[in-house]
Amino acid sequence: MAAATALAGTAFCLLPGPATAADGRALPAGRAFAATPTVYAPCPPALTLPPTPTTRLSWQRNLWARTWQFSPTGSKRSEIRIAATFAGRGTAALATAAAPPSLLDPAVVAGGRNVVAVTNGDYFVDVSGGGVPISAVIENGRVVFSPRGLSRVAAIDSRGALRTAHIELNSWARSAKVNYPIAAVNDPRVLPEDVTLFTERWSLNRIPKRTHAVVLQDGYIQRIAGPGTRVSIPEGGAVLASRSAAPFQGLVTGARIKLNVGVVARDGGEVVNASGHGGSLLRGGKIKPLCSEYENTLRPRTVLAWDGSGNTWLLTSGPMRPDQQNGDRMGGTTKTQLAQIAQTLGATEAVTLDGGGSTSMFVHRGKTVTRLDLPENRLLRLIPVVWSLTR
The model's pLDDT over 243-271, given as tens digits with 9 standing for 90+, comes to 999 989 889 999 999 999 999 999 999 99
> What's the domain range around 184?
171-261
Whether the predicted model's global pTM rises above the 0.85 cut: yes
Instruction: State whether 190 and 243 are in the same domain.
Output: yes
Least trusted range by pLDDT, from 25-29, 136-140, 308-312, 359-363? 25-29
Q: Note the pLDDT of residue 139.
A: 97
pLDDT over threshold 90, residue 12: no
* Residues 188 and 108 reside in one and the same domain: no
Q: Note whether 306 and 360 are same-domain residues.
A: yes
Does residue 150 lie in a domain region? Answer: no
Residue 47 counted as domain residue: no
Indicate if 102 and 233 belong to the same structural domain.
Answer: no
Task: Summarize the confidence of residues 106-125 as an average pLDDT.
Answer: 97
In this structure, is residue 147 part of a structural domain? Answer: no
Domain count, the chain: 3
User: Would residue 256 count as lying in a domain?
Assistant: yes
Q: Which residues contact 28 (CB under 8 A, 6 or more apart)?
A: 17, 18
Reported as a pLDDT band with limits 50, 70 and 90, residue 19 is very low
Residues 309 and 210 in one domain: no
Question: What band does 193 get if pLDDT is binned at 50, 70 and 90?
Answer: confident
In terms of domains, do 159 and 284 share one?
Answer: yes
Average pLDDT across the chain, whole number = 87
The answer to whether residue 254 is domain-embedded is yes
Q: Is the pLDDT of residue 1 over 80?
A: no
Residue 148 lies inside a defined structural domain of this protein = no
Q: Are residues 247 and 316 in the same domain?
A: no
DSSP E strand boundaries for 134-262: 137-139, 142-145, 151-156, 162-169, 172-174, 179-185, 195-198, 212-217, 220-225, 238-242, 258-260
User: Among residues 242, 261, 280, which one ends one of the domains?
Assistant: 261
pLDDT tens for 312-344 read 999 999 999 876 656 677 889 999 999 999 999
What is the pLDDT, as a whole number, of residue 22?
34
Give pLDDT tens digits for 132-166: 999 999 999 999 999 999 999 999 999 999 999 99
If asked whether residues 276 and 383 sit together in one domain, one would say: yes
Residues 6+ apart with CB under 8 A from 132: 100, 101, 124, 125, 145, 147, 186, 187, 188, 384
Q: What pLDDT score was predicted for residue 3?
A: 36
Q: Are residues 250 and 296 in the same domain?
A: no
239 touches 97 (CB < 8 A): no
Q: Is the pLDDT of residue 42 over 70?
A: no
Query: Is the pLDDT assigned to residue 374 strictly greater than 60?
Result: yes
The reported pLDDT for the residue numbered 258 is 94
